[in-house]
């Protein structure tokens, strides 16, 4: 088995995770979560989104969150922006890295952003140009790369062409999102190999949801194909507000535990990361979806009983 020696985890819990939770989390608790995640060793964290608070109320006050986090050196704090209005707000708030997004499915694009794929690129292009002119790095996301809730199967070649477009707009990294979690290792491998014909592998990231319990298997499969950037969400938070029935993102704790067992370095302290997941789940009022987090908590409870 040939695997990268080091994998970078991009923590999406504070944005992609919390945006799909029914409970709105306070600015103070969101800041605490982000600071805990950074303290655990994550070097790339999605902290929020400059989107309409009416459409995604959980992401309201992202500017306040960005202003209050204890910024660590060598940690990227990303914010999602959908258009120039969002970019201007992000720039005013001091964002140094942003993310833009499109979809591989026309119907999902319409449901998610009320525009076609072509129209989404018309919105993205000036954002990328403005960000690059301001020295702000841009990450690109593509949703529904392995399946769409409205259209079913998605053509890998279509995803690859979109990835190339994002790259040409100046995105330093393209995250391939299995938004509804229907992907399997074989499909994930095929997708990565197809996209790699258009952009270098070191600029490809993967973003798997665990709806069918395939996320960890998919991650291992694409890592064997040279992919070393993985999006994950602390405690397995999230899903997609525009794709009903989907479960959360793959849990960061579960990914780190697997990579530790494979001897792949991440620089992440699993205990501190699990504590961050436990903290945010207490605020939401539910248990973590991470199996590793639950196992560590049970182990701690048993030790307390023995002592």
Give mean pLDDT, residues 108-112: 90
Q: What is the largest CA-CA distance in the chain?
A: 62
Domains of the chain: 8-306 (3.20.20.70)
What would the two tokens of residue 103 be? 């979809």
Q: Dump pLDDT digits (tens) for 8-38.
A: 999 999 999 999 888 889 999 999 999 999 9
Given the residues 128, 148, 171, 240, the one annotated as active site: 240
Q: Dump pLDDT digits (tens) for 179-232.
A: 999 999 999 999 999 999 999 999 999 999 999 999 999 999 999 999 999 999
Q: Hey, which bits of the chain come out as E strands?
A: 8-11, 44-49, 76-80, 97-103, 137-143, 173-178, 204-208, 229-232
| Lowest pLDDT segment from 38-42, 261-265, 297-301 | 297-301
The C-alpha atoms of residue 70 and residue 132 are separated, in whole angstroms, by 25
Instruction: For 47-59, give one letter per residue: b (16+ CB within 10 A) or e.
Output: bbbbbeeeebebb
Question: Across all residues in the chain, what is the average pLDDT?
Answer: 94
> Is 240 designated active site?
yes
Query: What DSSP letter does each residue of 215-229 carry, written as one string?
Result: HHHHHHHHHTTT--E
SS3 180: coil
pTM for the whole thing? 0.95
């Amino acid at each position: 088995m040939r695997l990268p020696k080091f994998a970078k985890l991009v923590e999406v819990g504070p944005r992609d995770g919390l945006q799909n939770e029914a409970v709105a989390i306070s600015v103070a608790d969101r800041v605490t979560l982000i600071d805990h995640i950074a303290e655990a060793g994550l070097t790339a964290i999605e902290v929020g989104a400059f989107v309409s608070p009416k459409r995604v109320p959980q992401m309201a006050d992202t500017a306040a969150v960005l202003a209050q986090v204890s910024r660590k050196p060598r940690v990227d704090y990303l914010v999602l922006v959908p258009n120039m209005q969002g970019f201007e707000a992000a720039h005013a708030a001091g964002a140094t890295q942003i993310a833009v997004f499109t979809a591989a499915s026309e119907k999902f694009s319409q449901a998610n952003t009320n525009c076609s794929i072509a129209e989404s690129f018309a919105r993205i292009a000036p954002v990328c140009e403005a960000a690059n002119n301001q020295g702000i790095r841009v990450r690109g996301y593509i949703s529904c790369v392995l399946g769409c809730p409205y259209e079913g199967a998605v053509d890998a070649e279509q995803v690859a062409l979109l990835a190339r477009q994002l790259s040409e707009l100046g995105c330093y990294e393209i995250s391939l999102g299995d938004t509804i979690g229907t992907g399997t290792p074989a499909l994930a491998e095929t997708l990565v190999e197809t996209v790699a014909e258009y952009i270098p592998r070191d600029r490809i990231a993967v973003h798997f949801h665990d709806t069918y319990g395939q996320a960890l298997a998919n991650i291992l499969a694409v890592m064997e194909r040279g992919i070393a950037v993985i999006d994950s969400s602390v405690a397995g938070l999230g899903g997609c507000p525009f794709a009903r029935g989907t479960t959360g993102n793959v849990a960061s704790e579960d990914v780190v535990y697997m990579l530790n067992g494979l001897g792949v370095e991440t620089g992440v302290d699993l205990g501190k990361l699990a504590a961050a997941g436990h903290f945010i789940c207490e605020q939401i009022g539910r248990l973590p979806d991470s199996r590793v987090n639950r196992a560590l908590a049970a182990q701690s409870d048993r030790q307390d009983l023995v002592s």
